Amino acid sequence: MLNEEDFLNEIGKIIRKQRNNKKLSCEKLAELSNADYSSVNLIENRKQNPRAYTLYKILYALDIDLVQLISEKAEAIVNTNENLINKISLLDESSQQDLLKFLDSFKLKRK
C-alpha cells in the first residue's frame, strides 16, 4: 500500500504524463475537467492534496483508470521490496552488517 506522500507524488506524475501525452496544456485540462486551473497545477506539482471529486474529474478528462494505475504502482513497489529483501537475505551476516553501515551513512529523507 502506498503512503499518502507516495500516492500524491504518483498522482501528480501520472496526471502530468498523461496530459503531456495528449498534448494538452494545464489550462485546457482544467477546462475539460471543469476544475480550477490552479488546483490542476498544484496537484500536478504535488503541492495540493486533491479533493476526491476534483481528482475524479481530472482523471476522467484524461481517461485514466485510477484504480488500475495505483494497483500497478503498489504492486511494483511490493515486488521491488521483496526482491531487495530476498537479495539481502542471501548475504552472510557480516555483509548484511556492512550493508547496514553503508546505508546508515546516507541521510535518507523523503522529498
10-21 confidence digits (pLDDT tens): 889 989 999 999
The overall pTM is greater than 0.85: no
Q: 59, 61, 31, 26: which is closest to 45 by C-alpha?
A: 26
Confidence of residue 104 (pLDDT cuts 50, 70, 90): confident
**Residue 58: half-sphere exposure toward Cβ, Cα within 13 Å:** 31
The correct CATH number of 4-104 out of 1.10.260.40, 3.90.1150.10, 1.10.10.10, 3.40.50.1820 is: 1.10.260.40
Confidence of residue 74 (pLDDT cuts 50, 70, 90): confident
Confidence of residue 111 (pLDDT cuts 50, 70, 90): very low
On whether the CB atoms of residues 10 and 71 are closer than 8 A, the answer is no
Cell numbers at residue 22, please? Answer: 495528449
Confidence of residue 82 (pLDDT cuts 50, 70, 90): confident
